[in-house]
């Protein structure tokens, strides 16, 4: 069993340095309307044990909040039906926020628990400046959430 800080070899990791403070980034991740601007329509409530869903155009992704520490940590399960209904994508998404020296936020996102060949919606959405697939070598540029953060 891996520790809370270990990352599985098939995990997607995102690292961002944002100018916005953790309070604003937390709102962007936990207010349904703000999160929907980046991801998909949802009914998130950032309380451990609460269930919510992302309603995408082709599928519903069922989630459960596993950990929620305001402005520090958000972790939830991600259960997405695949083309093969007998084998849904069961994974975990973890957002870790840390205040930078300048008052901004260092945001780390890890999407863990799926095979490398699967690209989940969170990876496709690209939350910031860089996306790096462990072991893949070079970082891949991704879309930024800066427009999302303006409204937070």
CB atoms within 10 A of CB 130: 16
- Asked, for residue 2, whether it belongs to a domain, the answer is no
Query: Domain of 89?
Result: 12-151
40-79 pLDDT, tens digit per residue, is 999 999 999 999 999 988 788 999 999 999 999 999 999 9
Give me the pLDDT at residue 34, please.
92
Distance separating alpha carbons of residues 75 and 122, to the nearest angstrom:
13
Give me the pLDDT at residue 89, please.
75
Q: Quote the strand ranges of the chain, DSSP E.
A: 12-18, 51-55, 60-69, 73-80, 89-99, 105-112, 130-133, 140-141
**CATH code, 17:** 3.30.530.20
Distance separating alpha carbons of residues 49 and 143, to the nearest angstrom:
30
Is the model more confident about 8 or about 114? 8
- Asked, for residue 7, whether it belongs to a domain, the answer is no
86-117 pLDDT, tens digit per residue, is 566 788 999 999 999 999 999 999 988 855 44
- Asked, for residue 79, whether it belongs to a domain, the answer is yes
Secondary structure in 3-state letters for 65-105: EEEEECCCEEEEEEEECCCCCCCCEEEEEEEEEEECCCCCE
- Asked, for residue 82, whether it belongs to a domain, the answer is yes
- Asked, for residue 34, whether it belongs to a domain, the answer is yes
Query: What is the reported pTM?
Result: 0.74
- Asked, for residue 6, whether it belongs to a domain, the answer is no
- Asked, for residue 75, whether it belongs to a domain, the answer is yes
Q: Domain tally for the chain?
A: 1
Rank 12-16, 124-128, 132-136 by mean pLDDT and report only the highest.
12-16
């Amino acid at each position: 069993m891996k520790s809370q800080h270990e990352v599985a070899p098939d995990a997607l990791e995102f690292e961002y340095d944002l100018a916005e403070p953790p309070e604003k980034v937390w709102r962007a991740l936990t207010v349904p309307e703000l999160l929907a601007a980046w991801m998909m329509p949802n009914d998130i409530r950032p309380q451990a044990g609460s269930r919510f869903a992302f309603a995408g155009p082709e599928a519903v992704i069922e989630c459960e909040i596993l950990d929620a520490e305001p402005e520090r940590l958000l972790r939830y399960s991600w259960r997405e039906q695949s083309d093969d209904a007998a084998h849904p994508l069961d994974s975990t998404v973890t957002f870790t926020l840390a205040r930078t020296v300048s008052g901004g936020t260092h945001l780390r996102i890890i999407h863990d628990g799926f095979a490398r060949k699967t690209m989940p919606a969170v990876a496709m959405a690209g939350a910031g400046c860089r996306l790096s697939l462990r072991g893949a070598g070079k970082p891949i540029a991704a879309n930024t959430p800066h427009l999302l953060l303006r409204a937070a």
